[in-house]
């Protein structure tokens, strides 16, 4: 099966940015209009978008919901939204502003009871587990905090709760354009072959995406490679044709 391509739009102050290894001090701004980026991606056959509220991830609540609403209102893209989703109200705002799915990372670590309740209410099609890790230890709060949780048991515990979609980012590779953590994703899929695993971090070219596809990874998120021109719109057209 062809791997699903999911471009990322990370937002700070309403602008598209990319971080390196999750470091807010190593950020680079690109097109200031997330909506225009989203429209261009839709025009080349992209169907799904990963939108991250980095202001929200680093704070205690959702922040850039207006950008989400603009993209959802003016495109037909299926949006999964993450960053700053810590309360029922945050979740309500995200869905009301047009998110088809939401990703919970910090909440799944710090408040498992709430996250599991969301999973029960909205189902595994709409609630995605964000499992971001450095040295196989789960990181939270916009990657500003490390936990003592081991990545693989953490994923397994939520698979047992009914999670079917997981976005896994190897923080050490994120934004570095030096290749994704293929071996890590293979290890996860060996334990959970039916998991809809979404790889994230390190993608620097279509060759990297091909490696993930050959490893059986169902979907991939990428951002910096697109904004830096290492993955072109023409390549997206070819993949999606």
User: Measured between alpha carbons, how far is 62 from 224 in angstroms, rounded to an integer?
Assistant: 23
Report which of residues 171 and 180 the model is more confident about: 180
**Which is catalytic among the residues 10, 55, 80, 208?**
10
Least confident segment among 17-21, 107-111, 162-166: 17-21
Q: Is 170 a catalytic residue?
A: no
Give the C-alpha separation, 52 to 64, whole Å. Answer: 9
CATH code of the domain covering residue 157: 3.20.20.70
- Residue at token pair 């709430």: 114
Find, among 221, 163, 171, the residue nearest to 196 by Cα: 163
Q: In the prediction, which pLDDT does 45 show? A: 96
Per residue in 100-154, pLDDT tens? 999 998 899 999 999 999 999 999 999 999 998 888 888 775 455 566 789 999 9
Is 111 designated active site? no
Check: pTM over 0.95? Answer yes or no: no
pLDDT the model gives residue 178: 84
Going by pLDDT thresholds of 50, 70 and 90, the confidence category of residue 25 is confident
Average pLDDT on 31-37 reads 85
- Count up the domains in the chain and report the number: 1
Range of the domain at 202: 4-240
Burial of 198 (0-12, 13-18, 19+ CB in 10 A): buried
- Assign 27 a pLDDT band (cuts: 50, 70, 90): confident
Give dist(CA 102, CA 32) in Å, integer. Answer: 23
Average pLDDT on 7-35 reads 80
What pLDDT is recorded for position 23?
66
**Annotated catalytic residue: which of 80, 132, 174, 208?**
132
**Does pLDDT of 176 surpass 70?**
no
């Amino acid at each position: 099966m062809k791997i699903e391509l999911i471009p990322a739009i990370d937002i700070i102050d309403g602008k598209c940015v990319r971080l390196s290894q999750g470091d807010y001090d190593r950020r680079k701004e690109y097109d200031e209009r997330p909506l225009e980026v989203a429209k261009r991606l839709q025009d080349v056959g992209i169907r799904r978008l990963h939108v991250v509220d980095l202001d929200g991830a680093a704070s205690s609540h959702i922040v850039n919901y207006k950008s989400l609403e603009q993209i959802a209102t003016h495109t037909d893209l299926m949006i999964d939204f993450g960053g700053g989703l810590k309360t029922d109200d945050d979740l309500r705002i995200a869905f009301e502003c047009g998110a088809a799915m939401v990703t919970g990372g910090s909440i799944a670590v710090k408040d498992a009871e709430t996250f599991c309740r969301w999973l029960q209410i909205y189902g595994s099609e709409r609630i995605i587990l964000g499992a971001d890790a450095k040295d196989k230890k789960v990181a939270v709060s916009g990657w500003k905090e490390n936990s003592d949780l081991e990545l693989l048991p953490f994923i397994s515990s939520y698979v047992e709760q009914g999670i079917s979609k997981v976005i896994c980012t190897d923080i050490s590779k994120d934004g570095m354009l030096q290749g994704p953590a293929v071996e890590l994703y293979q290890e996860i899929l060996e334990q959970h072959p039916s998991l809809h695993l979404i790889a994230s971090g390190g993608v620097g070219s279509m060759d990297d995406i091909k490696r993930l596809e050959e490893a059986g990874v169902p979907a991939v998120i990428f951002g910096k490679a697109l904004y830096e021109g290492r993955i072109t719109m023409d390549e997206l057209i070819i993949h999606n044709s």
